[in-house]
Structure 1
Amino acid sequence: MRIARWTHRHAVGEGFVVDDRVVPFGDGATVADMLAAGLDAAHDAHERILRDDAAMSAGIPLTDVVLLPPVVPASIRDFVAFEEHVEGVSAGVEGKSHVAPEWYEAPTFYFTNPHTVLASGEELRSPVTERLDFELELAAVIGAAPDGAEANLTPEEAASVIFGYTIMNDWSARDLQAREMKVRLGPAKGKDFGTVLGPWIVTADEFDRYVDDDGFLAIRAEVRVNGELIGEDLVSNMGWPFPELVAYASRNSRVVPGDVLGSGTVGNGGCLGELWGRNQGLVPPPLQPGDEVAMTIEGIGEIVNRVGAPVPAPAIPPARTRPRARTR
């Protein structure tokens, strides 16, 4: 079951993707409504739509619509769950490949910006950067738990709140990221200018056949720049399966319908930064305006985006030296 958002004749539509058409949910229902109702309710709605001749006749060919991000995220957590990615990036940052012992203790994540989400097909307008990069990821989209649980979930409970999966490209300005993380905080402005989600959400049950004996999703992920294969990996190489990522995110906190959790960048060339570390230089080169980045994940499909011209931002002055006076 595939779920999407789109525009057609200047109107926003939300519904199911059935073969090569999009079919509205009907009654004004949205993707957010489906996530809040949960996966079982979505399946019931899908079956009703398939039996409704009038609803099916209202379907629109995919070629006639412009896809939007398939979810308006409540939040976006992005993990760093692939050991091989950490090895490569650390080689570029520290001069040698190194995975901190703390990485193995728990799945680390950061929050990124839900307000700069892009769709497949949208042009990226990045900040001014000399090291623009992509990051190929699989993302889980959270729906309602059968019992309404949201906090301190076990991995088994967490599996039940994963509504589906989509492809995620976490665009990165590596020079901005490196500067700000020297302050022991971030990433922030090196990341928050654009994240692609798409092309649609594929419901979690569609991936049951890909789960390996250890509970990981053994699906293939690839990224190409201007048609050239740059990276390829199996998602099953991540250090924790998705239910454990969701459970960790819910620890002393909450996960709610509409939350998005990225796997972090896959290994073996899932981003340029990993390759720069392994090659000890900017090989392949950073992305430039006009470059096309295409990401494919088995069982979902493909997202394609082109890099546009960077957008200069107003200058901010450096910190001022202050007297540290304690009284006025």
Structure 2
Amino acid sequence: MKLVTYVLDPSTPREEGRAGVLLNDLVLDLAALGRWAAQRETAFARLSPDRETPLPATLLALLQQGAAAWERLRVALALAAQEEPRRLQEQAGLAFSLEQVRLRPPIPNPPTIRDFFAFEAHVRNARARSGLEVPAQWYQIPVFYFSNTSALYGHDEAIPYPRLSQALDYELEIAAVIGRAGQDIPAEQASDYIAGYMIMNDWSARDLQLQEMAVQLGPAKGKDFATSFGPWLVTPDELQPYRRGSGADERFDLPMRARVNGLLLTEANFQEIYYTFPQMIERASQHVRLRPGDILGSGTCGGGCLLELGQERHRWLNVGDVVELEVRGLGLLRNTIGASHA
């Protein structure tokens, strides 16, 4: 499945976005889909404890409700797939074309965002720009920092240029979303805790980041102004054709690309990652409880940012630039750099 958070009116606050599921080129509103299915199928009605709200209105609520809610969604989506698209669109508030909606981050209000540093090529390339080696400690544990859950953007949303910076960069990443709670999760079992994957752009103000990290903290203001996710949350079953390895070594053969104003700058593959998501989950869950909706970022892939490529390849980003990140199986995440906030 591909799950989205959407609005019909672009001025709608992100916290009021509604959950949807894709059926071909239609977005089906989750809550409306649940009510529609409950009226048409007794088997679905028996699965639902509440006939008025058999499916939740947000993806975070879906994750929090767990396996029973996912089963109701699968049954409802299968029923909808048997209908003609025209008939679904005739139902008020049920189905919209992708052109009718504005996508927001699939999980617009995650409890936490942990962004890792899991691609060896990125670490090596970025540090080489400063004449540094990869620290030995990097090979001992997957490390991460906490990002800002209040500055998230979705597909085709404008990214405000951070006004204190003159060195704006993109970062091509993949994010995993936790689907059920757990603590001290072994890497061998960790993939069972993943609800889905999405593209992530960890926007970075390199001059601010350098200033912050010079005092052994950060990246702080170098990162906390914007993170993009999308265009949708893809459930793990959709990536099975690309799965390589299992357990702690589960990887996916997913080509990754980044373009700026149509110019291809980055080509990588997700299977090149050094630390896998199961290993990241094991580390993140040590001593603490992960919750449904928590987001884990992979960190930048090798060659996945302008910092690595260098100014000889491409300048820093400017207002008006269009950045597109594309990953096999996950879609395309596009953002335009907008003016700074006043």
Match of 1:32 among 43, 60, 64: 60
Report the 3-state secondary structure (helix = DSSP H, G, I; strand = E; otherwise coil) of the residue aligned with 1:124: strand
Residue 270 of structure 2 corresponds to residue 235 of structure 1: yes
- 1:168-197 Cα offsets, whole Å, 9 max, x none, are 000000000001101101110000000001
User: Structure 1: how far apart are the matches of 2:269 and 2:137?
Assistant: 24
For residues 118-267 of structure 1, the aligned pairs below 5 Å read 118-128=153-163, 129-144=165-180, 149-213=181-245, 214-267=249-302
Alignment gaps of 5+ in structure 1: 313-328
Report the 3-state secondary structure (helix = DSSP H, G, I; strand = E; otherwise coil) of the residue aligned with 1:200: strand
Counterpart of 2:79, as a letter, is R
Q: Which residue is equivalent to 1:75?
A: 112
Counterpart of 2:306, as a letter, is L
Q: Which residue is equivalent to 1:5?
A: 5
Q: Which residue is equivalent to 1:301?
A: 331
State the TM-score, normalized to the length of structure 1.
0.87
Match of 1:66 among 102, 108, 122: 102
Report the 3-state secondary structure (helix = DSSP H, G, I; strand = E; otherwise coil) of the residue aligned with 2:177: strand
Q: 1:25 deviation in Å?
A: 1.4
State the TM-score, normalized to the length of structure 2.
0.84
Contact 1:39 1:163 in 2 (8 A): no
Give the percent of matched residue pairs that are identical in Structure 1 and Structure 2.
Answer: 40
User: Structure 2: how far apart are the matches of 1:21 and 1:30?
Assistant: 18
Alignment gaps of 5+ in structure 2: 32-52
User: Structure 2: how far apart are the matches of 1:34 and 1:114?
Assistant: 19
Q: Which residue is equivalent to 1:275?
A: 309
Q: 1:46 deviation in Å?
A: 2.5
How many pairs align? 301
User: Structure 1: how far apart are the matches of 2:339 and 2:313?
Assistant: 22
Q: 1:41 deviation in Å?
A: 3.6
* Greater alpha carbon shift after TM alignment, 207-216 vs 153-162: 207-216
Report the 3-state secondary structure (helix = DSSP H, G, I; strand = E; otherwise coil) of the residue aligned with 2:251: coil
User: Structure 1: how far apart are the matches of 2:281 and 2:287?
Assistant: 12
Counterpart of 2:62, as a letter, is M
Report the 3-state secondary structure (helix = DSSP H, G, I; strand = E; otherwise coil) of the residue aligned with 1:168: strand
Cα distance change of structure 1 residues 49 and 208 upon mapping to structure 2, 3 Å threshold: closer
